[in-house]
Structure 1
Amino acid sequence: MHPGEATAKGLAGARIVNQTVAARKPSWLNRTTLGVGLTSLFSDWSHEIATTVLPAFLVSLGAGPAWLGIIEGTADGVSSFSKLAAGHYTDRLKHRKPLVLSGYVLTTVATGALALATSAVHVLLARVTAWFGRGIRTPGRKALLAAGVSSDAYGRAFGFERMLDTLGAVVAPVTALWLLEWSSHNYAHVLAWTLVPGIAAVLTFGFLVREKPNHRPASGSFWFSVRQLPASFRTFLVAVGIFGLGDFSHTLLILFATQALTPAHGPAVAASFAVGLYLLHNIFYAAFAYLGGWLSDRVRHRKIVLAAGYALAVVMAVLLAWQPASLPLLAIVFVLAGIVVGVEEALEDSLAAELVPPQQHGMAFGTLAAVNAVGDFASSLFVGFLWSRYSASLAFTVAGILFLAGTILMLRLRRA
């Protein structure tokens, strides 16, 4: 045989083998990915209905803003600590699915139990219980999602889950408004209806999600598990934490837009515009959660896409420090904010899954959630204090500096 013919046949054979391997490669959009995504949609739909009516429900019980702050602050704190503990615990289990499923059941029942509340104390107990369930399910759910796809599809899988979760948050306020109208503002009836999407979340997770057993369960103490996390992941947490110190709650954007538009449009119209801008924010959040993840699966380093999202936060902070007062400029700010949070949430999870071995995924996701929770709490207090004591320009300038520092650290991240 002529050498050229042999080479050609060899190349053709190699192409056939590669095509066969590609054809056999399972799709990232499988039962587990779809199940986790739909579960997030239904679950967020359920508890966001409750969140929408909770302030007015507390007023009807004779409780004011102080009680709302106590309830939400306590619930968020319990959720953060339970995520950290559950992350450690779930890595010690061969089967993570029962723990995650129990978290969804607990959140559903406790959220529905708000309908029985007759005092602010009852609301506190139900909300804290619901958020405890939310905490214990999160690290295990993310570990199951990471185990259900190949590492080159982490971005799309986590982006898809975040997209559907955000769609639930978009649909929930509309549903709450319809239920209020239908029930003649009977808050107990509205809260009871949260059981419908909540039960759908439990059933979806139970029947659709398939678990790959953890054949190498972790052992050792909590602090031993923390020390075992790769050095590159700890560096990643530092970058996330510094960025998070500036990553204020985007509900502050609603306040900023309302104040900026009031002189030209009046308080009522300004408030309506601000709500519309926040809806625009959530649309871009949902879209870029998936688009950012999709892009990260197609570049060599995921950190580049995450750093780009962080850099957009710097641009957003610069615009806010400039004190925009026109609707078009505010729309740009809200669009940038939506893109930032979409890319941030999808890429932080997918990059964490990439940096840490599968048997440590629970601990990694729990630690990441705890770092983000501390950042969320500290940043909103810090930015709010600077805004109130000095000026909004100074508050957003400091946030922008922290965003820039986080961006630089993320770009300098090296894999072990």
Structure 2
Amino acid sequence: MTYLTRTVWILSCISLVTDIASEMLYPVMPIYLQSIGFSVLLIGVLEGIAEATAGLSKGYFGKLSDHTGRRTPFIRLGYGLSAVSKPMMAVFVYPLWIFFARAVDRLGKGIRTGARDALLSDEATTATKGRVFGFHRSMDTLGAVLGPSLALLFLYYYPGRYRNMFLLAFIPGLLAIVFSLYLKERSATPKEKTEPVRFFAFLGYWKESPAIYRKLVVGLLIFTLSNSSDVFLLLRIKQAGLGDTATIGIYIFYNLVYALAAFPLGILADRIGLKKIFIAGLVLFVLVYAGMSITGNWYWYGSLFLLYGLYAAATEGISKAWISNITSKADTATAIGTFTGFQSICTMAASSLTGWIWFQFGAVAAFLATAGMAFMVVVYLLFFVPAPDTAV
């Protein structure tokens, strides 16, 4: 497995410990927010604004990374901000402070995403993109298994001590900063243009990008409009009467499936085609959200989260591998940053809209609306977007 280079391993380990920190908190985040007075609607707005912050910064810093020819400074700064944001959530419980702390966390993600994915792409060939991105997603998601497991253990001995967990989450975040210091990159090759990069300069890439890129991204963004924060899935489980332990346990199970499946599905995608695996993942997503409209026991929700883990493994890394295979190497960070930027803005709308539909019409309507829109995207990608190896 020579394609798993030193850089791929370091980036994967950084993502592993960062996700341990983030995912210690994620499954208890809605519980914590509700305990300090946040409504479902306000949680949706919070998650939406957080994603919008990440989205706008992903586009800008992706463009800036390509412009300067540098990757590691953006990766180090991004992971550093995400690390310090964790204890900030425990300092005060005022809504504006919580919004600020979440924005800092998401800003860190925005700064690092384009540069990190471009560095991963630089370490792979066209024939190994699926497995390199898949391996990274597996390691990243392994952190999402270990993080909630640690949260479950902590809450077993210290039930209800949510604020202490935010302080503990700083430890793995600090490890990510240390690991990032060992990253090396090839000599910087900045673009010839010397004018400063404007904040919305990445939007110009949309006009310059290949037609196949625009076709693919349109489909992905429509899907994103239906794909709200996973917080709503966790709230649905809580609404059905499952306790904290069952909720976190099912979330751990989902991430375990995701972690185990991402690498093998990446290898399979390299062999049979990225498009086939990606569409199969979207079909699973439709089934999961349709199933969430039905009230069941923990066996039912466990089965749905099994499918949800397979969906995530078949789409998250695969979409970035697909994009990097249809765009110029010199614009990789910009292409991924532009997509993920628009994606985060759409996620803001999706989370806010889902929160509103849930608030007005109930959980069943919210999940069925999501499933219906996702099915339309499956049809669009199947018939209107060619596979990357046949794109013209």
TM-score range, shorter chain: 0.7 to 0.9
Alpha-carbon separation, structure 2, partners of 1:315 and 1:69: 23
Query: How far off is 1:204 after superposition?
Result: 1.2
| Contact 1:101–1:206 under 8 Å retained in 2 | yes
The gaps in structure 2 that reach 5 residues or longer are 196-200
- Whether 2:127 is the aligned partner of 1:152: answer yes
Residue 279 (structure 2) aligned to one of 307, 327, 330? 307
Matches within 5 A, 1:236-275: 236-256=216-236, 262=240, 267-268=241-242, 273=246, 275=248
- Whether 2:202 is the aligned partner of 1:202: answer no
Query: SS state of the match for residue 128, structure 2?
Result: helix
Deviations 1:333-356 (A, max 9, x none): 322221112211010011111111
Alpha-carbon separation, structure 2, partners of 1:56 and 1:258: 9
Query: How far off is 1:73 after superposition?
Result: 3.5
Query: How far off is 1:231 after superposition?
Result: 1.4
| Contact 2:203–2:338 under 8 Å retained in 1 | no
Query: How far off is 1:249 after superposition?
Result: 3.6
Residue 44 (structure 1) aligned to one of 13, 16, 19? 19
Change (3 A) 1:109 1:332: closer
- Whether 2:369 is the aligned partner of 1:395: answer yes
Matched residue, 2:198: none
- Whether 2:107 is the aligned partner of 1:135: answer no
Change (3 A) 1:407 1:153: same
Matches within 5 A, 1:15-414: 27-52=2-27, 54=29, 63-65=37-39, 68=43, 71-117=46-92, 119-179=94-154, 189-207=164-182, 209-215=183-189, 217=191, 219=193, 221-256=201-236, 262=240, 267-268=241-242, 273=246, 275-299=248-272, 301-317=273-289, 319=291, 323=294, 325=296, 330-382=301-353, 388-389=360-361, 391-392=364-365, 394-395=368-369, 398-409=372-383, 412-413=386-387, 414=390
| Contact 1:214–1:359 under 8 Å retained in 2 | no
Alpha-carbon separation, structure 2, partners of 1:112 and 1:415: 46
Alpha-carbon separation, structure 2, partners of 1:194 and 1:324: 33
| Contact 1:40–1:201 under 8 Å retained in 2 | yes
| Contact 2:85–2:101 under 8 Å retained in 1 | yes
Alpha-carbon separation, structure 1, partners of 2:354 and 2:101: 30
* Structure number with bigger Rg: 1
Change (3 A) 1:116 1:386: closer
| Contact 1:87–1:362 under 8 Å retained in 2 | yes
TM-score of the two chains, using structure 1 as the length reference: 0.79
Change (3 A) 1:186 1:366: same
Alpha-carbon separation, structure 2, partners of 1:44 and 1:297: 26
| Contact 1:242–1:406 under 8 Å retained in 2 | no
TM-score of the two chains, using structure 2 as the length reference: 0.83
Query: SS state of the match for residue 95, structure 1?
Result: coil
| Contact 1:43–1:198 under 8 Å retained in 2 | yes
Alpha-carbon separation, structure 2, partners of 1:253 and 1:88: 33
| Contact 1:107–1:130 under 8 Å retained in 2 | yes
Query: How far off is 1:252 after superposition?
Result: 3.5
| Contact 1:40–1:164 under 8 Å retained in 2 | yes
Alpha-carbon separation, structure 2, partners of 1:78 and 1:319: 31
Change (3 A) 1:405 1:217: same
| Contact 1:155–1:293 under 8 Å retained in 2 | yes
| Contact 2:279–2:378 under 8 Å retained in 1 | no
Query: How far off is 1:185 after superposition?
Result: 5.8
Alpha-carbon separation, structure 1, partners of 2:60 and 2:215: 21
Q: Which has the higher contact order (CA 8 A, sep 6+)?
A: 2
Alpha-carbon separation, structure 2, partners of 1:310 and 1:73: 22
Alpha-carbon separation, structure 2, partners of 1:331 and 1:194: 26
Letter in 2 for 1:368: F
Change (3 A) 1:218 1:84: farther
The gaps in structure 1 that reach 5 residues or longer are 1-25
Alpha-carbon separation, structure 2, partners of 1:358 and 1:239: 22
Letter in 2 for 1:127: R
Alpha-carbon separation, structure 2, partners of 1:256 and 1:182: 25
| Contact 1:240–1:406 under 8 Å retained in 2 | no
Q: Give the CA RMSD over aligned residues.
A: 3.2
Query: How far off is 1:144 after superposition?
Result: 0.8
Query: How far off is 1:43 after superposition?
Result: 1.0
Deviations 1:249-305 (A, max 9, x none): 44444444566xx5xxxx356x76555443332222222222221111223x32222
Alpha-carbon separation, structure 2, partners of 1:313 and 1:119: 35
Size of the aligned set, in residue pairs, is 380
Q: More displaced, 130-139 or 329-338?
A: 329-338
Alpha-carbon separation, structure 2, partners of 1:365 and 1:131: 16
Query: SS state of the match for residue 162, structure 1?
Result: helix
| Contact 1:281–1:334 under 8 Å retained in 2 | yes
Q: More displaced, 332-341 or 388-397?
A: 388-397
What is the identity percentage for the equivalent residue pairs of Structure 1 and Structure 2? 26
Alpha-carbon separation, structure 1, partners of 2:77 and 2:153: 30
Q: More displaced, 330-339 or 406-415?
A: 406-415
Alpha-carbon separation, structure 2, partners of 1:268 and 1:352: 39
